[in-house]
Structure 1
Amino acid sequence: MLRSLSVRVLIALVAGLALGAAGAAYGGGGVKALIEGVESVGSLWLNTLRMTVVPLLFAVLVVGIAGVADAAATGRLALKALAWFFGLLLIGCAWTIFFNNSLYALWPVDPTGAMALRAGAPPPPPEVTATPSFAQFLQALAPTNPIHAAAEDAILPLVVFAGFFAFAVTRLPEVKRLSLIQLFESIADAMVVIVRWVLWAAPVGVFALGLGVGLRAGAGAVGVIAHYIVTVVLAQVGIIILANLVALVVGRVPPGLWFRAFAPVGVAAFATQSSIACLPAMIEQSRDQLRVPDRVTGLVLPLAVSVFKMTSPVANLGVAIFVAQVYGIDPTPLQYAAAVIIALAVSVASVGLPGQVSFFMSTGPICLALGLPLDLLPILIAVEVIPDIFRTVGNVTGDMAVTAVLGRDPAEAEVDAA
């Protein structure tokens, strides 16, 4: 069990919080000074992780968007699938913003625990409190200098530039197009290697950061972390219910048949926490149990695993909304609009990345779009193993639901019969 990075990081977090709380309660000034010195190691680890965000984000966006454009060129069925993917992702984003903010209004984050979590973290930048006009928002979408935008963590303009660049790549001659895609795949792979190196030291970094939180907060932060897990999981459960309704109502699959077909896939998702690992089971159950034509399962399910993660925007926005609650920030509608655009983009781009890598790469840009610090993310990575189970279950539920719907499309049935 200790071979699992998630388990080691979780143990490191608990140990850091406990030792930090003990140092605050029983240690003198020397102990506290020692803990603050060790905490700087955690800050160094966090900065090392942050330095990969912009190059990794840009590279995977180019590869991901170019891949979607290629998929759209494969035919009508692919376009229908992409339309379903986009529509469900957009619904998931709207659901998360509404549900999580409503839940926090009814069940607010404990102020003492929130203060504990943000203790020692830098205050939010002053521009968070400024509400840009719609004209300023539109003007800022296109960066006059993409390199400057990257240096300033202006994520939305960078995403817009990456989108234009990626679609321009698809219009190049095949040799040049493939060369550029391979270049950015290599850049993304290199960044992933760096992140894996940094995550190898994650138990040390999270332990050091946990010491600081425990020193200033004691056990008060534990309840807030549990609050975070519950709210993020509940938002994902809501979208999982929606995916089941899509299969049952729109796909007209009998409930008993649907749950029999999905049961083996759900077990695989729970055990592996990998949508790709569930692909063989999804194809088998969709073909044999749901009687979806091979032509549909052969295209839609691999495409879904490649570009569609139904619960990822839900979970990623949920993380950012929780961070906003901890810092007492109320994002504006325009900031939420920017966050939704980024959540949709990174949900496509982060497919295939390791769990901890995709967590930071997906949630970090959304937090930056909302003007939030990233200092809480290493703490939340430590407990990501629980929400990640629901991420995977929701993703494969959405994949199979869209496949069931398209498998019963009259137009596709006529093509299959022909």
Structure 2
Amino acid sequence: MKLKKVNMTVQIMIAMVLGVVVGTISKEKIEGIKLLGDIFLRLIQMSIILLVMGQIIEAIGGLNPKELGRQGVKVIIIFLLTSFFAAAFGIITGILLKPGFGIDLSSLSSGGKISTSYLGSASDTVLGFFSINVIKSMADGNIVQVILFAILFGVALSYIRMENESNKLLEVIIEFNKIILKMISIIMKIAPIGIFSLIASTVGKVGVGVILPLSKYLGVYGLATFTYLIVFFIIVSLYCKVNIVKLIKGMTEMSLMALATTSSAVTLPTEMKDAKEKLGISEKVTKIVLPLGMTLNSNGSAMHMAFTIVTIAQIYGVNYSGAQYLYIAALATLVSLANAVVPGAGLVSLAIIVPQMGLPIDAIAVFAGVEWFVGMLRTILNVDSDTLTALIVAKGEDEIDYGVYK
């Protein structure tokens, strides 16, 4: 009888447990193994710029501006606003409840002195979103400038593609993205080894106490996710004049599917079916908003990245200004546009955003053990926010069949 293959999530959790055990037993003798973990992190970072650019250009370049029209613009604006608010809510929750407070990992930083002064004043922060040379931005790893360039490139590509149907550039970009995703998938196969090395060396150096913030981190993140969802449900039920209990009941099946599969793509068929049959959203709105949301709307991912940045900053004793927190929320919103559909996508996203805020990338290893649970919360917020956005759009277009609620 063939043994069932152990999936990546289980492998990473096993690796983390083994890392804690080996680090506790070996103490500082195991510190040399960190080299393997550092190599794993560099392999992930190596293709991040190309991943981000490719994913955003493909998502936006594949849109049809003429077909989307006013409704499409409205949808994208709502996506960006709700993702930004989700990121901001994650930041506020992290500041108030301090999930990383009291844990000191500053001795683990391999990147020298931690600094956030490079963000400068509020005007410098805003100006820092715009590149004077995108090649230099790519070389410097300035993700936010690369993302804005990719958005503009994608918009221009979508218009050119509509004017010239024989344009093959999008097809080339799609195939290139497949290669980058496959490369990251291959790299992620050694994730258990990398995570084991990083956790073992970390625990060996500072003790098993480094794992303690995970339970508080996960609990506070879960609280932030469901509080944000409740507020979103209340706002939508009032705006759409729908009973909130019936609204929640109509979205229960897709929410459970999102929790069980941790995949927006797998949940999409159920989401589209329930949106029409249980929520009364017209087929026209459903077909535009939900598939587009799966690509461009990631409230859960934006909140996860922003919340985790605040947690890591607290662990390392880093304080940000108000302008810098706004920068984090905006950066998390933009990075959420480039979510990779690969195993351990949450770790890949953190590898993108953590160095941008002057924090050691080594820190993401500590959160690998709860990635599956975080993925559940991230996905339910992604899926439910897509559907709630569809309801808002449908209300504005008079495309809701209220009969399904009776």
Question: TM-score, normalized by length of structure 2?
Answer: 0.89
Contact kept, 8 Å, 1:236 with 1:394, in 2: the verdict is: yes
State the Cα RMSD in Å. Answer: 2.6
Structure 1 partner of 2:239: 250
Structure 1 partner of 2:157: 169
Structure 1 partner of 2:202: 213
* Distance in 2 (alpha carbons) for counterparts of 1:178 and 1:328: 51
* Distance in 1 (alpha carbons) for counterparts of 2:42 and 2:397: 53
Q: Which moved more, 1:201-210 or 1:284-293?
A: 284-293
The within-5 A match list for 1:106-125 is 109-111=101-103, 114-115=104-105, 118-123=106-111, 125=113
Structure 2 partner of 1:93: 87
- Asked if residue 74 in structure 1 is aligned to residue 74 in structure 2, the reply is no
Deviation at 1:15, TM superposition (A): 0.8
CA, structure 1 residues 160+81, in 2 after alignment: closer, same or farther (shift >3 Å)?
Answer: closer
2:83 counterpart letter in structure 1: L
- Asked if residue 50 in structure 1 is aligned to residue 41 in structure 2, the reply is no
* Structure 1 runs (4+) greater than 6 angstroms displaced: none
Listed one character per residue, the Cα deviations across residues 163-211 of structure 1 (whole Å, up to 9, x for unaligned) are: 3322332342545885222232223222211111111111111111111
Listed one character per residue, the Cα deviations across residues 223-253 of structure 1 (whole Å, up to 9, x for unaligned) are: 1222222232222222221232233222222
Contact kept, 8 Å, 1:292 with 1:407, in 2: the verdict is: yes
Q: Equivalent pairs: percent with the same residue?
A: 21
* Distance in 1 (alpha carbons) for counterparts of 2:179 and 2:39: 20
1:203 counterpart letter in structure 2: P
Contact kept, 8 Å, 2:335 with 2:353, in 1: the verdict is: no
Which ranges of structure 2 fall in alignment gaps of 5 or more residues?
402-406
Structure 1 partner of 2:135: 147
3-state DSSP of counterpart to 1:343:
helix
The within-5 A match list for 1:158-237 is 158-174=146-162, 175=164, 178-237=167-226
Which ranges of structure 1 fall in alignment gaps of 5 or more residues?
25-31
Contact kept, 8 Å, 1:56 with 1:187, in 2: the verdict is: no
* Distance in 2 (alpha carbons) for counterparts of 1:171 and 1:296: 23
Question: TM-score, normalized by length of structure 1?
Answer: 0.86
* Distance in 2 (alpha carbons) for counterparts of 1:360 and 1:338: 21
Q: Which moved more, 1:299-308 or 1:389-398?
A: 299-308
CA, structure 1 residues 13+330, in 2 after alignment: closer, same or farther (shift >3 Å)?
Answer: same
Deviation at 1:120, TM superposition (A): 3.0
2:363 counterpart letter in structure 1: L
Structure 1 partner of 2:396: 409
2:336 counterpart letter in structure 1: S
3-state DSSP of counterpart to 2:109:
coil
Q: Which moved more, 1:360-369 or 1:46-55?
A: 360-369
Contact kept, 8 Å, 2:9 with 2:372, in 1: the verdict is: yes
* Distance in 2 (alpha carbons) for counterparts of 1:127 and 1:79: 38
Deviation at 1:11, TM superposition (A): 1.0
* Distance in 2 (alpha carbons) for counterparts of 1:137 and 1:208: 36
* Distance in 2 (alpha carbons) for counterparts of 1:410 and 1:120: 54
Structure 1 partner of 2:19: 16
Contact kept, 8 Å, 1:124 with 1:372, in 2: the verdict is: no
3-state DSSP of counterpart to 1:331:
coil
- Asked if residue 60 in structure 1 is aligned to residue 47 in structure 2, the reply is no
The within-5 A match list for 1:256-405 is 256-350=245-339, 353-356=341-344, 358-405=345-392
Contact kept, 8 Å, 2:281 with 2:399, in 1: the verdict is: no
Structure 2 partner of 1:27: none
1:408 counterpart letter in structure 2: K
